[in-house]
Structure 1
Amino acid sequence: MESLVRSLRNLGLAAPNGEQITSLVDADPQVEKRLAQQLAVPAQIDLMDSEDASAAMVDAALLTGATEAMLANYNRTLQQQIEALKEEFVKTKSPKPIKRIPLKALLSQQEALIRRRTDERLSSKSQSGSAYTPRQILDTDSVHCSTTAVSELQRMDFDELLAPKRFEGRYLVVRVVSRLSLYASCSFVGEIIPSGAPIPISIAYFTPNLNLYGEELDAMLPVGTYLLIREPYISTNYLGFGGPITGAKGTVGIRVDTPSDVIILDEDDALLADLCPDGSCNNSLSTLAQFAGWRQEGPLSRAIQRFLNQNDQDSCVPPVTATLASTRDIIRRFLRQERPGAAWREWLSAEKLGLWKTEMDSSAVADDLMLKVDVLVELSAFAEADTVLETVPLEERDRAWTCRKAEVSEALDVNLQGPSEGLLQRIFQTTFTDPSPRFSLGEFLGPIAVQQIPNAGRGLVLTRDVDQGELLLCCRALGSTYSTDKECDGVPLLRVNIDSGVTSTTTQVLAATRCIYKILDRPELATAILGLTAGPDIPNSKYVAKPYPLKTLPLSGDAAIQSGLHPPDVDALYVNGVLRFNAFGPAATPAAATGNDPMSRSTMPHPLPAILNHACLPNVSSVFFGDLVTTRALHPLPAGTQIMHQYVQGELPYDSRQSLLSKHGFQCGCGLCELDERDGASARHQRESLLATSLPPLVDRSQALLQNMQLAAIDAHQDMVAALLELISNLGATYNPARNSLRPDLADIFLRASKHAEVYEKDAALRLARAGAEATGAVLSANSITRLPDLHWDGAIQCLLMLAKLHQEDQAQEMSWIQAAIDTHHSMIGGGTVLFLQRYSPELYPVLHRLADTTAIPV
């Protein structure tokens, strides 16, 4: 990708956009040709504007030809790298000794990598004013994750290395001797201890911040840091997994596939003492003030962890000298790095050492308590944070305390009863101004329990009867990632799995990285994330057999401190599988303004909501508000009911739904699928054909008429209704005669026909609007709704608002239909009348002006 982008920019062309990036891996020559033309178009337009038209045409043709050649070269290089990775897997059966490369040569190679990253960033800025550096990486199912404790491994040295080979039961100790280079994986040069032999190393999933560079990146693993790598894999192309596409060119080195295989060593670690009895392994980074910014615990935590690991006397503490200032700085640094677990362990370690009691000034005490609150809030421990806030001295409760108290109280309210209508309204509004909204709120768990469901794994069932519209869940994502996050903004990333052919985009890759570090930082989250299944082709993790937690609370006391000593083994392949089969991928928020860019989708790992099983005809509605998801009952449901939401929309054709669901390894047999099956394959295909060929031109004609209502003759509307009714009749013939009124494909067509019929016959418009609502599964009485829609809720709401509009001469009937629309909206989303009016504004639906006036709600 970097070579392709560089070549395009040398021709004065822009780098490919998101849609074009996803087309790059399409092997169809026509797709490649079309892509070349798209990439060359801007420059061709400039050429055509020149005075010499004939010369411009020649130049434009040459430009397109050059772009096609670049794409062909790109695809050739990509295929070479894919074949090299596949060949490497075959060669693992007969590995060969590796040659020692001089340190000077490896350092020179590493500096060249760093320069390329710098040039890439600078050249992209010079063209557009802001960095835009698309990247592509490969991955494979043949990845490694060590599950063996260091105590059960034996050390090895350079002269024992073979490539390609994974050394089970062994470990290497290396010292960082170069600066870092970040593509998607992070690379550097290390020296193997004790021989001092240099070797290049890459670590996949090193950071979710693809924009990290320079001193800030180098601080993650400064020169001099000692690392222990468990069961290392020696690759013939150490950058082939997470590095730039270079064809078959590769360098032998250590390829770390998951960060949990790496342990940072202190200078007083027993392993280093054995390796360097003369004290030559002097790690200056293990002082109280200095430490690696990647994966290393705080200095107090490390001291207490080692002490607790060697002593059972809880009352004793090691002799550690530390300052409050450095401890505060370290805790704040952990919070900036999204490592609240490490911050909490450092806080608890300082508390165990009595460090917080060394200053008695009330202002300093208040500052320290507020810092503790910050840590607890990041851990979502809102009840504990509230308790700490109450201990802040009265004379120190300033504006910051008041604001924090209000935030914590609101989060606790959500814990108890879910978000209020006012809070949901504010959250909804935030999505229009914030392209990557995240909300620090508590989670609400309604009357639900996790149970084993016959032939469906685990699911969520109700523990009591619930009413329609009742909130059942309100959960935050763990490791949420938006394409507009500053960590990946301007760095679209495409990953291709060479074994399965599955492609993943930026947010999927970085959400996996975030989840890995969430587990490493807070081991108590392992069951919530790794307790989910990773698809039919990956064996279940050990956590799947454990009881699934409804809620995960932070650890406390010595157990919390010790949890950082031996974090879980996190298999990156398994985490990616969990996200592929369980994470939600809602569309970009309104504020993101990303259009149809396929790279713009966010990735939202919601562990507990992921337990919900699928039904195309659901009984609950799950709706996203940024990184929050709320789940509400669509109908009254009795205790013991399994609540089920949609993985794919029920409005999609039956065969499309089943195809999309096939990756989950099951065929849906919900009520809607049963109805569609009874219609028969031939009838379903005929229905799809009618919707694809006959409906679009009718919609175009209808739009033109509705936009010029004043000018269109009545007979034009009558003709439009007749055409739409003919289509409805033809579609109706594709349904089984015994089928009920649930026919979601017809809802919008009925509504459109009603809008035209309103021009000349009110009764006909009323019948059509009612038919549209009933096609969504709604049951209507004379003046209201007696059963809410089963699906296509927005379409049903528009039909109900049409009925209200048609009854404007009778205010009571009008308001009755509006209330039916509000009730439907509440069961889907919640948020009360205000949120309803935010989504269905009186400007778009004038019939709602009276509602806005009577409720004194500004519009």
Structure 2
Amino acid sequence: MADFTEFLSRAIQNVENARTMKGKKPPVRASKENLVALHQQVLLKHTKDNQTTGQLAIHQTITTLTYPPCTEPLSSLQRISLSDLVLETVHHGKFVLCKTFVEPDKAVGINTAVEDPEGNVDMLSLYNFAIDRDHSNAIPAGIVIAIKEPYYKITAGGGASLRCDHPTNIVHLDVEDPIVRQITWKSGTCNSADDKQKTLSSEEYKLEGNAFFKQGKYHNAITTYTRGVASNLSSSNVVTLRLNRAAALLKVERYEAALDDCRQVLECDVGNEKAIFRSAKAFYGLEEYEQALVKMQLYSKVAANKDEAHRELKNIRDRLFEKQRGIYDWNVMIAEAKKSATPRLDHASYVGPVRVANISNEKGRGLILTQNVCKGELLLCSKAFEICYPTETGTVIYINTETKLTDKGAQGMLASKIVQKLLNNPSLAKPFFDLYAGQHRLAKIPPTTSTPPVVDVFWVADICSMNSFEVTDSDLNPREDERNAFRYNHLTDSASGLFLMPSYINHTCLGNCIRSFVGDMMIVRALDDLPAGTELLMSYTDILLELEDRQSTIAKHGFTCDCKLCVLDRAESKDMRMRRQTAFQMFSSQTFTKFKNDPSGQLEERINETLSVINTIENTYEDSNRKEFQISLCLPLKVLGTMYVASGNTEKSIRTWKKILKIHEFGTKNAIWTVCLIPAIAELCLMYYMTAQTKLGQLLLEKLRAELTVTAAGDDRIFLVEHREVFERSCNFFP
């Protein structure tokens, strides 16, 4: 973490230095030849880095200025030459007309070089742009673009470059566009690489689009079909091209555009099979299952393939059953989630007996219960609005010098994916932008009603910062290993997801509901019997962290947690907490690291070191006369129990696991859940059986099974899946 803090400090200093150039022109402008050479060097370096590491290289991206997207039409803006741009400035009311002259490169953003009609050249970096497709096709060499309200800045290397964070600020222009035609280019006639397309016949458009579709190049197919539709074609050809384009649009999840194509086909051919079927699929993609059912029922009446229609109808009815009743086949969902490293499950969201309500001026909105609920009752099963997995991002560090926030990998990429989702389907903007984005956004209205749609990237990023969740296998029953147990900062390599309804749940370290995950589905269950009108609360942070670290995690939300744990922690002196934290950090960086690297080596020494740390932590609690929530002991005790097992000392191992259960107050109304609890119970059960204490093991397991109603599936099935093999191999414990 220190490395990132230092990097952030350097980035902030660079910003301060850059501000001295605000409003000035760069002292030297690069020639076209120099830009081409520089671009090629960077391109070769990125290629070499990726080949050397065998994966995407580590990159950083630094945001030094947040600014809104342009909401004005291009026709209302005034053209400005590249030579008239000034540094560290967003040029409001202006646009740059330019054409690309190199093939693009991509690290985090897309980098290219552009030339304006006067022959001036500059580098251009595009962020959050066309992340759902091959960047080389998104902005190839030779196309003409307009950059609305261009932002001109000093790069990290000290040069000058255009930067565009908002994809809607980039407008692709055809060479026949009036804005382009009225311009004389110093470099000669502005010929597009796609000019040859204008001579194609309708049949050629269709065949070329179909060829792209079969190759999986759906964006190319959409572009080709669109050119065909825009040409003066007969109505029959337009119908075919629209239907084909709808099929391609479904593939890239542009469901609303696909619906529009299907509607226009149905206006002239009300019984068109393909249009009805693709309408149903588009509604399904938008999770509008009632509309999908209507369309698919209509399709089943006209379809030649009745089997396909019946399969699709069953699928839609299954989703409606989940959505309306909150009943899921958990075994199927768990199996589906395990099939992929990046699971995106085909299941519906369920909203149980909860509603959004205004809680207080400090908290804002929250979720309250509309009826009495029992412990373990399903309150929400929410499919991720968007999710990003670490294997999909490479290693990227995102630095924002204005907010002082640092994100890594999946969490940083999540906002870009949501921007693309909102551009693909603008109707999704309203429920998303209803989420809290920080105090500075409260009195403002996001630009969500423009045509074409405009999305404020930085507003999206603010919402993600306030509402995203780290997605694990399960917060209650993790396949936890100590490599992750001590990795306590937000720069982890976990998946990051945005879930709409759960985002309204406010924080307390000791919540009355708890979340877990199956794939990209978040499951929220009640931790206790709760009466109607109760506000749902869950922890935004790991309660195993010390007070200062927990407060740091929730600081951006602008409130102070007053749960019992935080009150107890604040009652202690800061020196006491620091003693505890220092002991734990020394243990995790030294003793634990040695044990992890060599689990069987020097066990007696490792055990003594761990006992010393535990003794130090226990003394801090004794010195402050604190009896409850001694949770800083949990992780060292968990490791100690594992060491005793490795050394063959089952008696001490049993005592250690029992101590963990006591700290968690397991089996009582005040029980708390951490990542240490279930592994400790599993190990204790195993030790009981290995030492012929069968009855104690059975009683403990039955008590655990009763408590597991709060886990994802509402019962013990996940626990059984995770631990059955170990128990069966050791003691034939499970039936």
> Above 0.5 in TM-score?
yes
Q: After superposition, where does 1:524-535 map in structure 2 within 5 Å?
A: 524-535=427-438
Match of 2:58 among 119, 134, 158: 134
Q: Which residue of 1 aligns with 2:105?
A: 181
Q: Is 2:20 the partner of 1:90?
A: yes
Q: Which residue of 1 aligns with 2:93?
A: 169
CA contact (8 A) 1:776 1:796 kept: no
Aligned to 1:659, the other structure's residue is in SS state: helix
Q: After superposition, where does 1:437-836 map in structure 2 within 5 Å?
A: 437-454=343-360, 455-485=362-392, 488=393, 491-499=394-402, 502-535=405-438, 538-540=440-442, 542-543=444-445, 565-568=451-454, 570-586=455-471, 600-688=493-581, 730=619, 733-734=622-623, 736=625, 741-745=628-632, 772-780=660-668, 787=669, 789-792=671-674, 795=677, 798-799=680-681, 802=684, 806=688, 815-836=698-719
Measured after TM superposition, the shift of residue 567 of structure 1 is 0.5
Greater shift, 452-461 or 597-606, is seen at: 597-606
Distance (Å, rounded) in 1 between the aligned partners of 2:13 and 2:582 = 41
Aligned to 1:91, the other structure's residue is in SS state: coil
| One-letter amino acid of the counterpart of residue 432, structure 2 | I
Distance (Å, rounded) in 1 between the aligned partners of 2:458 and 2:450 = 23
Aligned to 2:503, the other structure's residue is in SS state: helix
Distance (Å, rounded) in 1 between the aligned partners of 2:667 and 2:482 = 38
Measured after TM superposition, the shift of residue 631 of structure 1 is 0.9
Measured after TM superposition, the shift of residue 446 of structure 1 is 1.0
| One-letter amino acid of the counterpart of residue 282, structure 2 | V
TM-score, length-scaled by structure 1: 0.67
Q: Which residue of 2 aligns with 1:378?
A: 285
Measured after TM superposition, the shift of residue 462 of structure 1 is 1.2
Q: Which residue of 2 aligns with 1:143?
A: 66
Distance (Å, rounded) in 2 between the aligned partners of 1:121 and 1:724 = 47
Measured after TM superposition, the shift of residue 507 of structure 1 is 2.0
Aligned to 2:716, the other structure's residue is in SS state: helix
Aligned to 1:377, the other structure's residue is in SS state: helix
1:122/1:591 CA distance change after superposition, 3 Å:
farther
CA contact (8 A) 1:138 1:495 kept: yes
Measured after TM superposition, the shift of residue 503 of structure 1 is 2.9
Distance (Å, rounded) in 1 between the aligned partners of 2:481 and 2:308 = 34
Q: Which residue of 2 aligns with 1:837?
A: 720
Measured after TM superposition, the shift of residue 844 of structure 1 is 4.4
Distance (Å, rounded) in 1 between the aligned partners of 2:405 and 2:610 = 45
Measured after TM superposition, the shift of residue 648 of structure 1 is 1.0
| One-letter amino acid of the counterpart of residue 733, structure 1 | E
Measured after TM superposition, the shift of residue 723 of structure 1 is 9.2
| One-letter amino acid of the counterpart of residue 109, structure 1 | L
Measured after TM superposition, the shift of residue 514 of structure 1 is 0.9
Measured after TM superposition, the shift of residue 188 of structure 1 is 3.5
Q: After superposition, where does 1:230-241 map in structure 2 within 5 Å?
A: 230-233=148-151, 235=152, 237=154, 240=155
Distance (Å, rounded) in 2 between the aligned partners of 1:319 and 1:594 = 67
TM-score, length-scaled by structure 2: 0.78
| One-letter amino acid of the counterpart of residue 261, structure 2 | E
CA contact (8 A) 1:175 1:224 kept: yes
Task: Map Cα deviations across residues 151-176 of structure 1 (whole Å, 9 max, x no partner).
Answer: 78332242882322432223344445
Q: Which residue of 2 aligns with 1:220?
A: 138
Aligned to 1:229, the other structure's residue is in SS state: strand
CA contact (8 A) 1:339 1:521 kept: yes
Q: Is 2:344 the partner of 1:428?
A: no
CA contact (8 A) 2:507 2:539 kept: yes
Identity of aligned residues (%): 18
Distance (Å, rounded) in 2 between the aligned partners of 1:600 and 1:652 = 18
Aligned to 1:790, the other structure's residue is in SS state: coil
Distance (Å, rounded) in 2 between the aligned partners of 1:634 and 1:765 = 29
Q: Which residue of 2 aligns with 1:56?
A: none
CA contact (8 A) 2:510 2:563 kept: yes
| One-letter amino acid of the counterpart of residue 773, structure 1 | L
Distance (Å, rounded) in 2 between the aligned partners of 1:123 and 1:719 = 45
Aligned to 1:514, the other structure's residue is in SS state: helix
Measured after TM superposition, the shift of residue 378 of structure 1 is 2.4
CA contact (8 A) 1:302 1:565 kept: no
Aligned to 2:340, the other structure's residue is in SS state: coil
1:123/1:414 CA distance change after superposition, 3 Å:
same
Aligned to 2:299, the other structure's residue is in SS state: coil
| One-letter amino acid of the counterpart of residue 345, structure 1 | D
Greater shift, 579-588 or 807-816, is seen at: 807-816
Measured after TM superposition, the shift of residue 821 of structure 1 is 0.6
| One-letter amino acid of the counterpart of residue 162, structure 1 | L
1:848/1:592 CA distance change after superposition, 3 Å:
closer
1:146/1:662 CA distance change after superposition, 3 Å:
closer
CA contact (8 A) 1:437 1:627 kept: yes
RMSD (Å) for aligned C-alpha atoms: 5.2
Q: Which residue of 2 aligns with 1:55?
A: none
Q: After superposition, where does 1:65-104 map in structure 2 within 5 Å?
A: 86-92=16-22, 94-96=23-25
| One-letter amino acid of the counterpart of residue 611, structure 1 | Y
1:346/1:133 CA distance change after superposition, 3 Å:
farther
Q: After superposition, where does 1:292-303 map in structure 2 within 5 Å?
A: none
Task: Map Cα deviations across residues 728-773 of structure 1 (whole Å, 9 max, x no partner).
Answer: 9646514546x5x54434567888789989x9999x9999876643
Distance (Å, rounded) in 2 between the aligned partners of 1:225 and 1:149 = 22
CA contact (8 A) 2:63 2:400 kept: yes
Distance (Å, rounded) in 2 between the aligned partners of 1:635 and 1:617 = 12
CA contact (8 A) 1:492 1:599 kept: no
Distance (Å, rounded) in 2 between the aligned partners of 1:185 and 1:217 = 10
Measured after TM superposition, the shift of residue 470 of structure 1 is 0.9
Measured after TM superposition, the shift of residue 610 of structure 1 is 2.1
CA contact (8 A) 2:580 2:616 kept: no
Match of 1:261 among 139, 153, 169: 169
Q: Which residue of 2 aligns with 1:388?
A: 295
1:227/1:696 CA distance change after superposition, 3 Å:
closer
1:96/1:631 CA distance change after superposition, 3 Å:
same
Distance (Å, rounded) in 1 between the aligned partners of 2:443 and 2:633 = 45
Distance (Å, rounded) in 1 between the aligned partners of 2:310 and 2:18 = 60
| One-letter amino acid of the counterpart of residue 664, structure 2 | T
Distance (Å, rounded) in 2 between the aligned partners of 1:120 and 1:500 = 29
Distance (Å, rounded) in 2 between the aligned partners of 1:132 and 1:673 = 41
CA contact (8 A) 1:770 1:803 kept: no
Q: Which residue of 1 aligns with 2:214?
A: none
Aligned to 2:294, the other structure's residue is in SS state: helix
Aligned to 1:733, the other structure's residue is in SS state: helix
Aligned to 1:841, the other structure's residue is in SS state: helix
Distance (Å, rounded) in 1 between the aligned partners of 2:614 and 2:110 = 61
CA contact (8 A) 1:687 1:734 kept: no
| One-letter amino acid of the counterpart of residue 24, structure 2 | P
1:541/1:274 CA distance change after superposition, 3 Å:
farther
1:771/1:845 CA distance change after superposition, 3 Å:
farther
Which blocks of at least 5 consecutive residues in structure 1 are unaligned? Answer: 1-21, 29-74, 307-317, 360-364, 547-561, 781-786, 854-859
Aligned to 1:343, the other structure's residue is in SS state: helix
CA contact (8 A) 2:221 2:245 kept: no
Measured after TM superposition, the shift of residue 469 of structure 1 is 0.6
Which blocks of at least 5 consecutive residues in structure 2 are unaligned? Answer: 210-216
Distance (Å, rounded) in 2 between the aligned partners of 1:498 and 1:122 = 30
1:417/1:322 CA distance change after superposition, 3 Å:
same
Task: Map Cα deviations across residues 19-51 of structure 1 (whole Å, 9 max, x no partner).
Answer: xxx8866659xxxxxxxxxxxxxxxxxxxxxxx
1:403/1:504 CA distance change after superposition, 3 Å:
same
Q: How many residues align?
A: 697
Task: Map Cα deviations across residues 279-305 of structure 1 (whole Å, 9 max, x no partner).
Answer: 98988578985999889997999999x
